[in-house]
Each structure stands twice: as C-alpha cells, then as structure tokens.
C-alpha cells in the first residue's frame, strides 16, 4: 500500500487539539473548510434523486478523498456500497471503512476508474482479498490489457468485474460504442471470459463519464448530455447482447458527471410539463427495463464555481452559493487601494485554489461575504461577486504559486474594506483540485447557531498519493 | 511549526528501501524524477555567473522545497547563506540544515518572500531565535503592517530586516518606486526605525520579482527586464537616500526571476559586442558602486518547458532539453490508435503535471525520448516533440485530475509505438507546480554509465503545507 504509507497523515489527535473548538478567524490560513451541513444535504439530495428515479448511484470519491464524505455519499442503506476511485490509494485509504462495513454485512462494489494497467493487479487483488468476492471491477477500453486480466484471479481466486469504458462524446478515455474497435473488444472479452482457460473475468456492463458536460450552461443542456450518455451506452449494450453467451445478460450501464447527475434531480418531479425532462425520464424508464441504470458523480458533494456555472441542478432546488460546501480560508497580506481598481494580496495561491478557469467569470476564486468577526451570522453588506448578477465584489484576479491578487469589481466608493491580517473565505472554481492542495480539511457546521457556525467541529484527512 | 508537523513526511528509511537501487522502469508511477547531475550543474552555473558579475545571489527554494537542492543552490562558500522562501513551512523545514551551518560558523540571511502579515511573527521569531541575529528579513509594501513589525523584536530581542517590495512592472505585489505611496511608506518606516520607541527594524533595501519576465522570448528581452528591475529599484533607493538618517546607508537591491537571472549568465562573457549585453553590464557595474546588487531565482535549478520557451540562458550555453532536471514518470494506461491522430492515455493528470500552460506549444507536457528498456542510453528513434523544431512526437494534449490524453503529432506512419503498462517520462511545463504534486522525489544521476543512469540513487522529501 505504497500510496498510504508514502503519504502519511499527521496525528489526528494533534490536528484535533490544534483546531477543534477554534473560531475560523483564529485558525492559521490557508486552510480548506468543509461545511458538513451543506455537504450532507448535497449527498442526501443525490441519494433521494436516484431513489426517486429508481436507478442506482455510485459515489466517486476523487473530489474530496476523505472517508467521512464518502460515508455521506454512500448513505446507510445501499448494499453493496458502490464506489468509483481514480487512484489505488483512494481505495486503500477506504479499506478500513469498507472492512468494517463487510463485518456488518454490507459488501463493496468498487470500480477502479482509469483503464486498468498491468501494474494495478497486485494492489487490486490485495483489496479484493480483504473485501471479498465481486468487490472489485475494472475498466477496459483496449484489447492490449486483456492478456493481463487473469492476474486478478490468480491472486484472489475470484473473478474481476469488467466494464467497457465508452467514449460517449467526451474524447478522453474510452471507445465509441458503434465502432469496429468496440466490436473487436467485445469479441476479445467474450473469448477471454468463455473460451478454454478462461481469464476469470465477468463483463458487467458499460461505463461512461461525460466530463464535457461541465460545459453545459442549463439544466436542460445537462439533461441532454445525460440522455446522450445513456443512449450511446445502450447502443453498446444492445450490440453486446448479440455476442455469443452475452445474450440475455442484464448489463449495467453507469453514466454521469456532476452536471448531468445533479440535473437528474429534475427528473424526479412527477408532474413536469417540460419536454426535455419528459423525454429524458421516458428514456431512463425505457432503459431500466433492459439494463441496470446507474449514475455516478463526485463533485456534487461540495460543488464549486464551475458547477454553479453549469446550472446543473433544477431551478426548483435553488442551486446557489449556499450549496457550495467548500471554501478556502485565506489571510489578507497587503492592500493596494491606490491601483486603478482597489487590489489586495492574499497569502493563498494556486497550490490552494488550483489554476482552474471558470467560464462564468475571469477569476480564480470568489471572496464570500463571510466576515471574520461576523461570528457566523453577520456578512459583508456589499454582498459578493456573482458572475450572473451585478459582478460587484472581490475576486481572485491573478494567481501565483503561493499568493494571489484580489481585485475589487464595482464602484470604488462602495468597496468592501479589507485589512491586513484579516481572514477571508474564497469559493474555489474547481473543488477537486482545490481540496487536493491540502492534506486535511477543517469542518464547520452552518446548521449551528450564531458563532458556533464559525467553530471548527472536526478535522478530516484528505489523502494524497497514488 | 504547524507547517511541519501537520504535513509529515513518510519514513525516509522506508522510502529508500522501496526505491533506491531500482531502475525507473520498475518504479511505481506517477513519480517525480530529479536528475541530480543536471540540477547540480544548473546551480553551479548560477553561482559562477553571480561571482563573475560580482553580485550576490539569493536562492529561492519554493520551486523544489527540498533540503538537498537548497544545498546545491547555496553552494559551500557564501556566508551568510542567502535564502528566500514563499511559506513559513519552507523556512521551518530548512531549520535543521541552517542550524547545522550555524554550528559550523556559517550564518543565515533569510527573507520571507510574501508581504509579511501579523500572524507571521511568532513563527518568524522562533526561527530567528534559532538562527541568530540578522537572520530574518521581511517584505513590506503597505503602511498597515508597520505597527506590527515590533513584534519580532519583542519576541527575539533582535531587529528584523525590512525590504520594501517594489512593483517594477509585474503588477502583482509591491508598490511603484516613483509613487506617492512609496514616499509615504519610506517616511513611515523611517519613523518606525528611528523615532522614539523604535520598532526594532532595519531597512535593508528593495526587493523586486519580475514574474512577467517569464513572457520574454529571447535572452536580450530577458536582459532588458533585468535592466528594468535594477533601474526601477535604484529609483527607489536613490529616493530613500534623501530621507533623514537613511542618507549614506548602503542599500541592498535584490532582483530577479529565473529568465532574468539565467540571462545574466550572458553578462559574464568578457568580450561581447552585443549592445544589450554591454548596456546591461554597464548598468550592473554602475549600480554596484552605490548598492549591493543581488539576484534571486528558483526555477533555474530544474528548469521546465516554460523556461525553455523563455530562451533565458545565453546561446553560448546551449540551453536545451538536456538542462531540464525534472521529469514525471508516468504509466501508459491505454492506446487509441484508431483516432484521427493516434492517442494514448497516461495515468498521470493535473495533480502531477499542474494545469500550467506553455506559450511555445498547446500541451501540458512533452514526452521525452527516454525508453524504459533503453537503460539510460538508447532513446526513441523518433526523437521528441520540440516546440521550436519539427513538432513531431507525443505531448500531453488534454489533462484531467488523475489522467491525461497523449496525442501523437507528426505523420501517423512514423508514430513512436507505446504499449499499455509502459513507463514514459514527461517534461512538465512548470516545475514549481509539478513538484508540489509530490511529497518526495526520486533521484537519478545522468552522469553515471549505461543502466546506472536509470537507477534510483536517493529519495528526497519535497515539503508541503504552509
């Protein structure tokens, strides 16, 4: 478990002693802050939407890489616990939690979310031995890996689940479901699964991640992407059903990314008249008859400026800044009121926020209206910079490795005053990259009263390494 | 020392046992690889250039955040050891080395490289007490911090050095040396240093970091930036000499960034006829008469694609890919030979390479010609993608959090073959952000013979946290 031991965490007791009980204004910055109340609500909304739609849900953990948020994502009901990871280290870090679940009778169904490589099987097998039969599945999108797949069974005596990674329009990983490559791959998988000395694999279904749904700018557009993913996957699944012994197998179709899966919350409204919603809901219902349909996502847990820009959640849920569970606590380092627009320096750079653009505004983060002496309730009278509103407020205009330049947008005489040493909170553009800059996150709870909203309740590790 | 204990390193013995002696092809990827031979040479070139010019040199450690590369940077001669850090954690991580130097009679002159904030003094004072009188200096570019500066002496009984952070055209931190703000700040610093209950500060001089020199695209342009920095700083210093008791003080002018300081290597050639070189050398010589002139830089240690694009080093030194000391080892995860151009997936994303653009080509990293079975000598016959050459080779075309899509550029029938599971090495665009993705680096030595070039010689920690 090189990914675990080579990237050790600090002492949990030491971190808790340092942070728990402190108000955010008294905490060393920069720090990543998670609002547990908002994150829990985001997770529950997703579980409820999947339930209402009658589809499965699989939690991607790469956004936060924490055990605690994984627990919110998977809820307490689903058995097996459905997970997808982007690194082996993520799976290994979750192993203690998953073994505990196993002891309580709840099994694991974990997908390693990159096309599997020969080097992965040793660590996947160690996980599979600990978590039991059917616990591990891998993605395949090239025939070159097939000769290596038998390694898993050699090491565990169990079969490994296989999903074909489909490119449904994203042009990253995967192959097109109507391509010759797909047909050849299916034939090769069928042979490996069924012929002679079989490889110990079970073709479970088809996996798509439509990352470019991040570019959607309306709920309907996101739903169109979702429909596109499902339709493209069913093309693959329908072809597979014509291949030898795959006839009659009930395949899993697993699709999604945060914009499309949060948009799916729209589909749960029973009486909508919107034609897109109606069409996509009918598609889901039709597909469910033949396949197990599953959504997967990760960034919905905390959301961020990019997700707000994607307008993914239905208007009915009032997706807003209040739904972003992640902020970065930063310290104001200097003031430049004499510049063409007032500017300030924050001791917080791209190693905290990431250099991740957001198409709704030209900055690297938005300063929230939180006031360090507001004790959780009073906020800046000037509000905050809303890319779709009046665009008045402080944003991170320029960013370097360890600092950034905040710019005031709006009339100079209405500037929100900042002072040197003041703590501010910043909504990041891309939660996944932001959290990856930190090895632990500080937890606050906005459902508490008054100053308690600003008090650190817990410290969670966010894992690194591979 | 929250920055140290909250971001612990793995066991050095464990890491060495895992890695030292292995060939790179047998090492788990992704991994950051440093060629110690190249890094040492880059460091020596810089020290030699500063010597030849008769100027001081200050090592920025933020690029690599390792003790070992810091040692190469500072060499064995300079006393004091001149450093600049971008986080307090960097200084604290270097403390054991610096205390050892102190015990051997070599003192430290360390600048905290962001405008100092009220929260910094406790940790700076702890460092200052350990490292002795005159060991710590801070940057100031706003009068708001002045009331807090006395904290350092209250905690250490020593004065803290102050440098005014000047904006010489970069438009990030700093104030313009010919501005009213600068004059007001000088007056306030003079009062704090000299009047009544003095604050325990000593104004040492003026600090500039012309980060936008990264946009230079010729050695002469980089030298023009260097001249601009020095000229702008001397404006500030000349004004300061008119302020009360500052008259007659010999100020320090410390300037630079890797493109400008590596360009300064041009100035050491004694018999150049190039008019820019001649002009800048005369400026340096003239400035040295009145001020201590110092260069500072960090990225020159490893260099990267951005630095190659800046053409900073003189043609005489043949700045080339051979001078890049940092590569990322990555594993090929899948192959897409059927796409419009051949593509492949690498299990290595923006958390390894950074999402840092390079103006010389539209990609996120360049695949080196290294072959995993070349044992340090044989390289790909197809060469590599040179942004200023024929642009034929594999580059990282698109990048996600934990994987990237490599694209082949050039004729399809001349494609360099890759195979699933193969290890490749990638030159990153921006070394500082790339190395920050890792908590340790693997060290190889290209001055060794044959397969030994590919053998891991050591493991160095690269620190995280703040």
Question: In this predicted structure, what is the pLDDT of residue B427?
Answer: 98
Question: In this predicted structure, what is the pLDDT of residue B461?
Answer: 96
Residues 6+ apart with CB under 8 A from A113: A60, A62, A84, A85, A86, A139, A209
- CB nearest B18 (choices: A2, A28, A466): A2
Nearest CA in chain A to B402: A86
**Band of pLDDT at residue B279, cut at 50, 70 and 90:** confident
Q: Within chain B, which residue ranges are assigned CATH 3.20.20.10?
A: 54-303
**Span B351-369, average pLDDT:** 97
Name every chain B residue with its beta carbon within 8 A of the beta carbon of A62. Answer: 401-402
- CB nearest A466 (choices: B30, B62, B464): B30
Mean pLDDT of chain B: 93
Chain A interface test: which of B18, B144, B214, B333 (most A C-beta within 10 Å): B333
For A461, B197, B346, B464, the CA distances from B433, given in Å and listed in that order, are: 22, 44, 19, 12
**Span B386-397, average pLDDT:** 96
Say if the Cβ atoms of A148 and B421 lie within 8 Å: yes
Question: In this predicted structure, what is the pLDDT of residue A6?
Answer: 83
A402 contact B CB<8A: yes
- Pure H helices in A241-304: 258-263, 275-290
**Helix, strand, coil tally for chain A in percent (to 5):** 40, 25, 35
Question: In this predicted structure, what is the pLDDT of residue B405?
Answer: 97
**Band of pLDDT at residue A220, cut at 50, 70 and 90:** confident
**Span B179-183, average pLDDT:** 97
Token couple for A454? 């600003």
Asked whether A24 and A446 are in contact (CB, 8 A), the reply is no
Question: In this predicted structure, what is the pLDDT of residue A195?
Answer: 84
Question: In this predicted structure, what is the pLDDT of residue A1?
Answer: 47
**Span A248-271, average pLDDT:** 84
**Span A99-120, average pLDDT:** 97
Separation of alpha carbons A225 and A263, rounded Å: 10
Separation of alpha carbons A384 and A409, rounded Å: 10
Say if the Cβ atoms of B420 and A333 lie within 8 Å: no
- Pure H helices in A170-218: 180-194
Name every chain B residue with its beta carbon within 8 A of the beta carbon of A334. Answer: 115, 141-142, 144-145, 173
Name every chain B residue with its beta carbon within 8 A of the beta carbon of A257. Answer: none
Question: In this predicted structure, what is the pLDDT of residue A326?
Answer: 98
Pairing of the two strands B252-255 and B326-336: unpaired
Peptide bond preceding B150 in cis form (omega within 30 of 0) = no
| Residue ranges of A 355-384 with Cβ closer than 8 A to chain B | 355-356
Residues 6+ apart with CB under 8 A from B140: B115, B116, B146, B149, B162, B163, B164, B165, B185, B189
Question: In this predicted structure, what is the pLDDT of residue B1?
Answer: 47
Q: CA angle B82-B86-B89, nearest 5°?
A: 95
Q: Model confidence over A131-146: pLDDT tens digits?
A: 999 999 999 999 999 9
Mean pLDDT of chain A: 93
- CB nearest B400 (choices: A145, A172, A405): A172
pLDDT above 80 (res A388): yes
pLDDT above 60 (res B315): no
A419 contact B CB<8A: yes
**Span B20-29, average pLDDT:** 97
Question: In this predicted structure, what is the pLDDT of residue A278?
Answer: 86
Q: Model confidence over B113-131: pLDDT tens digits?
A: 999 999 999 999 999 999 9
Q: DSSP string covering B397-443, please?
A: EEE-SS-EEEEEES-GGGPPP--TT-EEEEEES-HHHHHHT-SEEEE
**Band of pLDDT at residue A279, cut at 50, 70 and 90:** confident
Question: In this predicted structure, what is the pLDDT of residue A2?
Answer: 62
Q: How far apart are the first and last CA of chain B?
A: 9
A9 contact B CB<8A: yes
Separation of alpha carbons A320 and A213, rounded Å: 19
In percent, the amount of chain A with pLDDT more than 90 equals: 82
**Span B306-319, average pLDDT:** 74
| Residue ranges of B 262-291 with Cβ closer than 8 A to chain A | none
Given its phi and psi angles, is residue B448 left (phi above 0), alpha (psi -120 to 50 degrees) or beta? beta
Question: In this predicted structure, what is the pLDDT of residue B97?
Answer: 98
pLDDT above 70 (res B59): yes
> Exposed, middle or buried: residue B288 (CB in 10 Å: 0-12, 13-18, 19+)?
middle
**Band of pLDDT at residue B311, cut at 50, 70 and 90:** confident
Say if the Cβ atoms of A114 and B28 lie within 8 Å: no
A118 contact B CB<8A: yes
B429 contact A CB<8A: no
Say if the Cβ atoms of A351 and B28 lie within 8 Å: no
Q: Which of A281-285, B254-258, B326-330 has maximum average pLDDT?
A: B326-330
Say if the Cβ atoms of B173 and A345 lie within 8 Å: yes
A181 contact B CB<8A: yes
pLDDT above 90 (res B275): no
Which among A33, A82, A90, A93 has a CA at the least distance from the CA of A56? A82
For A374, B52, B53, B285, the CA distances from B282, given in Å and listed in that order, are: 56, 14, 11, 5
Pairing of the two strands A393-399 and B31-35: unpaired
Say if the Cβ atoms of B114 and A347 lie within 8 Å: yes
A336 contact B CB<8A: yes
For chains A and B, what is the number of CB pairs under 8 angstroms? 179
Given its phi and psi angles, is residue A93 left (phi above 0), alpha (psi -120 to 50 degrees) or beta? alpha
- Number of neighbouring beta carbons within 10 Å of residue B285: 14
Q: DSSP string covering B253-310, please?
A: EEE--HHHHHHGGGGG-TT---HHHHHHHHHHHHHHHHSEEEEEESGGGT--HHHHHT
Fold of B12-34+320-461: Lyase, Ornithine Decarboxylase; Chain A, domain 1 (2.40.37)
Q: Model confidence over B401-442: pLDDT tens digits?
A: 999 999 999 999 999 999 999 999 999 999 999 999 999 999
B215 contact A CB<8A: no
| Residue ranges of A 82-101 with Cβ closer than 8 A to chain B | 86-87
pTM above 0.90, yes or no: yes
Asked whether A398 and A353 are in contact (CB, 8 A), the reply is no
Mention the CATH class of domain A54-303: alpha beta
pLDDT above 70 (res B325): yes
Orientation angle between helical segments A36-53 and A67-74, nearest 10 degrees:
30
In percent, the amount of chain B with pLDDT more than 90 equals: 82
For A83, A374, A440, A462, the CA distances from A90, given in Å and listed in that order, are: 10, 37, 14, 10
**Span A193-201, average pLDDT:** 85
pLDDT above 90 (res B328): yes
**Band of pLDDT at residue A197, cut at 50, 70 and 90:** low
Chain B interface test: which of A8, A346, A418, A420 (most B C-beta within 10 Å): A420
Asked whether B280 and B43 are in contact (CB, 8 A), the reply is no
Q: Within chain A, which residue ranges are assigned CATH 2.40.37.20?
A: 12-34+320-461
Pairing of the two strands B404-409 and A326-336: unpaired
B345 contact A CB<8A: yes
Rounded to a whole number of angstroms, the distance from the CA of B285 to the nearest CA of chain A is 32
Question: In this predicted structure, what is the pLDDT of residue B272?
Answer: 66
Which among A144, A394, A239 has a CA at the least distance from the CA of B338? A144
């Amino acid at each position: 478990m090189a990914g675990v031991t080579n990237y050790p965490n600090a002492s949990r007791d030491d971190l808790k002693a340092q942070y728990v009980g402190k108000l955010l204004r008294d905490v060393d910055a920069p720090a990543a802050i998670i609002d547990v109340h908002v994150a829990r609500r985001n997770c529950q909304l997703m579980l409820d939407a999947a339930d209402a739609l009658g589809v499965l849900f699989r939690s991607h953990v790469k956004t936060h890489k924490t055990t605690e948020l994984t627990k919110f994502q998977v809820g307490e009901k689903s058995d097996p616990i459905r997970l997808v990871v982007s690194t082996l280290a993520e799976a290994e870090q979750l192993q203690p939690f998953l073994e505990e679940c196993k002891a309580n009778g709840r099994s694991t169904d974990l997908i390693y979310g990159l096309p599997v490589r020969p080097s992965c099987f040793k660590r996947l097998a160690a996980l599979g031995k600990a978590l039991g039969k059917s616990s591990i599945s891998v993605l395949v999108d090239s025939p070159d890996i097939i000769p290596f797949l038998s390694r898993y069974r050699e090491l565990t005596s169990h079969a490994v689940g296989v999903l074909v990674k489909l490119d449904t329009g994203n042009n990253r990983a995967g192959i097109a479901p109507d391509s010759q490559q797909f047909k050849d791959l299916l034939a090769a998988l069928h042979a490996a699964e069924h012929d002679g000395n079989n490889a110990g694999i079970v073709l479970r279904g088809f996996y798509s991640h439509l990352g470019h749904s991040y570019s959607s700018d309306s709920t309907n557009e996101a739903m169109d992407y979702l429909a596109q993913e499902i339709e493209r996957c069913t093309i693959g699944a329908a072809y597979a059903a014509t291949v030898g012994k795959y006839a009659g197998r009930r395949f899993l179709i697993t699709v999604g990314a945060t914009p499309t899966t949060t948009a799916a919350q729209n589909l749960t409204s029973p009486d909508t008249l919107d034609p897109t919603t109606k069409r996509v809901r009918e598609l889901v219902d039709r597909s469910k008859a033949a396949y197990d349909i599953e959504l997967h996502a990760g960034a919905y847990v905390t959301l961020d400026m990019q997700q707000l820009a994607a307008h993914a959640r239905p208007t009915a849920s009032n997706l807003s800044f209040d739904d972003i569970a992640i902020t970065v606590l930063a310290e104001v380092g200097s003031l430049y009121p004499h510049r063409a627009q007032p500017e300030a320096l924050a001791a917080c750079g791209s190693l905290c926020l990431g250099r991740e653009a957001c198409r709704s505004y030209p900055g690297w983060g938005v300063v929230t209206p939180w006031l360090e002496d507001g004790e959780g309730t009073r906020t800046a009278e000037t509000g905050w910079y809303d890319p779709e509103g009046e665009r008045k407020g402080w944003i991170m205009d320029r960013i370097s490795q360890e600092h950034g330049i905040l710019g005031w947008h709006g009339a100079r005489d209405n500037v929100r005053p900042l002072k040197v040493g003041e703590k501010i909170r910043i909504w990041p553009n891309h939660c996944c990259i932001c959290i990856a800059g930190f090895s632990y996150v500080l937890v606050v709870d906005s459902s508490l009263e008054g100053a308690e909203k600003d008090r650190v309740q817990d410290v969670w590790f966010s894992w690194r390494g591979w």
